[in-house]
């Protein structure tokens, strides 16, 4: 379990650096390029669609956090965790740390195209950054029983 936690910390740090890199690239591109917002339906519903993306993203982050991380944590704490499920835990936690920056980046690009403002893209990147900071792989070290798993 120690090796998994170390690997997840490293992966989380890389994801944070990627989010920060995207933020700097977006600021650079916004300074040098101008993107006009999309005008589907005369642009009347763009802001409502962006609000929908924000609400959806918060709900999605809660669901994927629970499905990919927290339910394994509950099993570890209740001592009903089987060693066979370790590979599933490893796969799910790596997937979580991939989906957070990937999903927020895509939603940020959509919001940026709909609004023409880089601030919405940065808002989604801030959501990804805060979520990555809140996900703590050290929580998996709740039992000495699994300290020798590889």
- Give the pLDDT confidence of 39-60 residue by residue, as tens digits: 877 878 889 999 999 999 999 9
Cα distance between residue 49 and residue 31, in whole Å: 25
pLDDT value of residue 132: 95
Cα distance between residue 96 and residue 68, in whole Å: 6
Confidence of residue 146 (pLDDT cuts 50, 70, 90): low
pLDDT over 70 percentage in the chain: 93
pLDDT value of residue 76: 79
Q: Which residue has the higher pLDDT, 80 or 32?
A: 32
Confidence of residue 16 (pLDDT cuts 50, 70, 90): very high
| Predicted confidence (pLDDT) at residue 81 exceeds the cutoff of 80 | no
Cα distance between residue 127 and residue 144, in whole Å: 33
pLDDT value of residue 42: 80
What pTM, to 2 d.p., does this model score? 0.86
**Terminal CA-CA length for the chain:** 6
Q: Which residue has the higher pLDDT, 126 or 40?
A: 126
Burial class (CB in 10 A: 0-12, 13-18, 19+), 127: buried
* Mean pLDDT value across residues 100-118: 94
pLDDT value of residue 150: 46
| Predicted confidence (pLDDT) at residue 106 exceeds the cutoff of 80 | yes
């Amino acid at each position: 379990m120690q090796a998994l936690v170390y690997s997840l910390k490293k992966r989380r740090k890389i994801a944070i650096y990627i989010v920060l890199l995207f933020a700097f690239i977006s600021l650079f591109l916004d300074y040098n390029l101008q993107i006009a917002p999309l005008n589907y339906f005369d642009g009347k519903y763009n802001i409502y669609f962006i609000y929908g993306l924000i609400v959806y993203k918060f709900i999605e982050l809660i669901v994927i956090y629970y499905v990919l991380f927290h339910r394994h944590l509950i099993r570890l704490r209740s001592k009903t965790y089987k060693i066979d499920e370790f590979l599933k835990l490893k796969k799910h936690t790596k997937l979580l740390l991939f989906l957070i920056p990937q999903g927020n980046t895509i939603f940020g690009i959509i919001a940026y195209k709909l609004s023409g403002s880089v601030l919405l893209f940065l808002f989604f990147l801030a959501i990804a950054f805060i979520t990555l900071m809140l996900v703590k792989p050290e929580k998996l070290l709740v039992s000495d029983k699994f300290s020798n798993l590889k």
